[in-house]
């Protein structure tokens, strides 16, 4: 039921298109009934030669003709057959009245029924277009909204969520799963409703033509329903496995492309190809199981239909011999029955596609049910500036978020005053990056508090909190867009002059202007057309343009050569001017100008002071310094 409620939220937005489609189906069905009803007059007036034959057919068709059977089954159905015969008599009278009003008589009668049939078919075609397009419009709108909401849900999740799910798995949910859902909802929704409606219309028509024969024909319907359910259940299971394998494939593809240089450096192209081929083999096996069920379903359904058809022919033959069924009625009945085959065949195919969509819907819905562990407090109130200080008050953290896992940070007490530059140093794994990630609430501590001006940051709106913080990391994130848009990032209204001022302060304006299209040059995915130093300077320019009062520098020069580091370091000094900064660096040469240095070891603060004080102390910082500068 949760899944149904999930879809209804989206269906309501396109209800008008759905109602238009359903109205088109109703008119289509009425036109179909009219088409079937015209078969009998056409049979009489076009295919029969004399008035006597016409009257014989009418009398036989309406009254049942011949001798009545005294069997219990016949006596049971006699009242129903009398009612349906009355309906047909009324239809015949309506046709005759219409013909009389049109002044049709003599040889022109030959053309009347075929002409009406053509008009009815044109109406059916028009309604099929209206219904089909309306369902497509609704279906495409629904799946587009689902894809947008799914991406929005993912992009607003916390860092813990993105540690749990690989990029390949998320890509598979947003692209592959939604595509299968779109195929079912947009492309097949029309087939579902139209097929069901036509089966109902055709079934009612069969009952009207000859009730007893219709009961015999429709006897196989429960068996069809059972087979559809069985095949559908199997298809749902194999599709779920197939989509899981697709997620594995997407992950390997993403890793292989992103890590292409490492793959080549280690000569591991064939190794990666082997991993990918094993994953595609798993996906192939899952798809083959799905295709086995899909291919098997049609022969099984058709075999069942053949058995039902044989029973129908035997019953019809006996009825014709007994005079309880005319050939004209049987011709009309058989035509309607043959028309039922197409919606049954479509329902079988649609059922399999629908089960694929159900499996994908469970995956999509399951992901969207995951609530972010980083959310705004109901009474969150914004602040505009940092006035006094940032405080880490007895902060502890572990990635299991239980308080009982392996501690990454333990009992951190630290104050950072406004305008102060504080450097964090320590060995890899000491907890430096984790500590600074608590400030913009990429994670929340399992105990303790982080405060800005004595206000717990959990009491601030997330957007407000993060607007106060500029971040430059060792892994520079740039987008496949122009230089200008990468620096301005989401602020298209900024004039170029402001962008250039930020770039100049980051020592980036000269190399940008040397590019073929200057600030309009597209830099490629991840800034692949730039050097490491150039990418880092663009990131610094972006942080400068944001003009946030708090700055986080996480290993901002760790991947640079000495020459690039000198230029970037000058840009960083410009960036830090007048701001409160938290700086992480392995290269101690970048932190000697910090107002204060904090040394972390295994998640705890072990030393704190200026560069000179810590060297004089002769502890952990002195050992790190000697390792870097004296071997």
Here the CATH number for the domain that contains residue 95 is 1.20.1560.10
Residue 422: Cβ-neighbour burial (10 angstroms; 0-12, 13-18, 19+):
buried
Structural domain count, the chain? 1
So what's the pLDDT on residue 92?
61
* Nearest C-alpha neighbor of 197 from the set 346, 406, 376, 3: 346
Which residue range is the domain that position 301 belongs to?
Answer: 2-243+294-368
For 549, the token pair is: 């009062």
Grouped pLDDT means (10 residues each) for the chain, 631 residues: 81 91 88 74 55 48 43 51 54 66 64 78 90 89 91 88 84 86 80 84 80 76 76 78 79 75 73 84 83 79 76 80 77 81 79 81 89 84 83 90 73 92 89 92 92 91 89 84 90 89 89 92 83 86 88 76 74 83 81 89 92 91 83 58
So what's the pLDDT on residue 291?
78
pTM for this model (two decimals): 0.73
* 463, 401 Cβ separation under 8 angstroms: no
Whether residue 629 is contained in a domain is answered as: no
So what's the pLDDT on residue 47?
53
Q: Where are the beta strands (DSSP E) in 316-437?
A: 389-397, 409-417, 421-425
Whether residue 482 is contained in a domain is answered as: no
Whether residue 400 is contained in a domain is answered as: no
Q: Report, in angstroms and rounded to the nearest whole number, the Rg of the chain calculated over CA atoms.
A: 38
Whether residue 331 is contained in a domain is answered as: yes
**What does the alpha-carbon distance between residue 617 and residue 606 come to, in Å, rounded to a whole number?**
12
So what's the pLDDT on residue 58?
46
Whether residue 512 is contained in a domain is answered as: no
So what's the pLDDT on residue 403?
54
So what's the pLDDT on residue 72?
53
Residue 604 bridge partners (DSSP): 601
Residue 554 bridge partners (DSSP): 473, 584
**What does the alpha-carbon distance between residue 204 and residue 218 come to, in Å, rounded to a whole number?**
11
**What does the alpha-carbon distance between residue 91 and residue 286 come to, in Å, rounded to a whole number?**
54
Whether residue 100 is contained in a domain is answered as: yes
* 219, 311 Cβ separation under 8 angstroms: yes
Q: Where are the beta strands (DSSP E) in 180-328?
A: none
Whether residue 272 is contained in a domain is answered as: no
Whether residue 224 is contained in a domain is answered as: yes
So what's the pLDDT on residue 17?
92
């Amino acid at each position: 039921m949760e899944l149904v409620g999930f879809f209804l939220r989206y269906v309501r937005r396109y209800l008008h298109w759905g109602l238009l489609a359903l109205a088109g189906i109703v008119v289509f069905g009425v036109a179909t009934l009219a088409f079937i009803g015209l078969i009998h007059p056409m049979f009489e007036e076009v295919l029969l030669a004399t008035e006597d034959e016409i009257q014989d057919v009418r009398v036989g068709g309406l009254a049942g003709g011949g001798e009545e059977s005294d069997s219990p089954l016949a006596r049971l159905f006699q009242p129903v057959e009398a009612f349906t015969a009355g309906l047909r008599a009324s239809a015949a009278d309506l046709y005759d009245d219409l013909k009389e009003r049109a002044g049709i008589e003599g040889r022109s009668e030959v053309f009347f029924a075929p002409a009406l049939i053509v008009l009815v078919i044109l109406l059916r075609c028009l309604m099929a277009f209206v219904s089909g397009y309306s369902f497509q419009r609704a279906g495409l709108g629904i799946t587009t909204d689902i894809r947008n909401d799914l991406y929005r849900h993912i992009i607003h999740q916390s860092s813990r969520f993105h540690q749990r799910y690989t990029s390949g798995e998320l890509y598979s949910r947003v692209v592959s799963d939604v595509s299968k859902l779109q195929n079912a909802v947009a492309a097949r929704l029309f087939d579902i409703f139209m097929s069901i409606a036509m089966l109902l219309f055709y079934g009612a028509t069969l009952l009207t033509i000859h009730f007893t024969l219709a009961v015999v024909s429709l006897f196989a319907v429960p068996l069809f329903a059972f087979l559809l359910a069985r095949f559908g259940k199997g298809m749902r299971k194999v599709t779920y496995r197939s989509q899981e394998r697709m997620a594995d494939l997407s992950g390997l593809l993403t890793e292989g492309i992103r890590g292409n240089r490492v793959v080549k450096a280690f000569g591991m192209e064939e190794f990666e190809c082997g991993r990918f081929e094993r994953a595609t083999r798993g996906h192939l096996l899952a798809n083959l199981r799905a295709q086995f069920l899909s291919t098997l379903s049609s022969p099984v359904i058709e075999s069942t239909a053949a058995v039902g058809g044989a029973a129908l022919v035997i019953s019809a033959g006996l009825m014709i011999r007994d005079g309880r069924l005319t050939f004209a009625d049987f011709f009309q009945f058989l035509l309607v029955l043959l028309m039922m085959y197409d919606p049954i065949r479509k329902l079988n195919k649609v059922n399999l596609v629908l089960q694929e969509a159900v499996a994908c819907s469970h995956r999509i819905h399951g992901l969207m049910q995951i609530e972010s562990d980083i959310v705004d407090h109901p009474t969150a109130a914004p602040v505009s500036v940092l006035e006094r200080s940032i405080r880490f008050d007895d902060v502890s953290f572990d990635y299991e978020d239980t308080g009982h896992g392996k501690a990454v940070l333990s009992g951190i007490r630290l104050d950072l005053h406004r305008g102060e530059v504080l450097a964090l140093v320590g060995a890899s794994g000491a907890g430096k990056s984790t500590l600074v990630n608590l400030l913009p609430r990429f994670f929340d501590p399992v105990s303790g508090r982080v405060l800005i001006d004595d206000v717990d940051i959990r009491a601030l709106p997330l957007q407000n909190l993060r607007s106060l913080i500029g971040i430059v990391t060792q892994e520079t994130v740039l987008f496949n867009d122009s230089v200008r848009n990468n620096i301005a990032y989401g602020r298209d209204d900024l004039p170029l002059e402001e962008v250039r001022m930020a770039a100049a302060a980051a020592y980036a304006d000269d190399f940008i202007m040397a590019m073929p299209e200057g600030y309009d040059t597209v830099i490629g995915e991840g800034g692949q057309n730039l050097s490491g130093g150039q990418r880092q300077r663009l990131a610094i320019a972006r942080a400068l343009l944001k003009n946030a009062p708090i700055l986080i520098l996480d290993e901002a020069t760790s991947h640079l050569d000495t020459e690039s580091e000198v230029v970037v370091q000058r840009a960083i000094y410009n960036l830090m001017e007048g701001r409160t900064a938290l700086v992480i660096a392995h290269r101690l040469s970048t932190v000697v100008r910090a107002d204060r240095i904090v040394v972390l070891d295994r998640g705890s603060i072990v030393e704190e002071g200026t560069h000179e004080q810590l060297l004089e102390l002769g502890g952990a910082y002195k050992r790190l310094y000697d390792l870097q500068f004296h071997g």
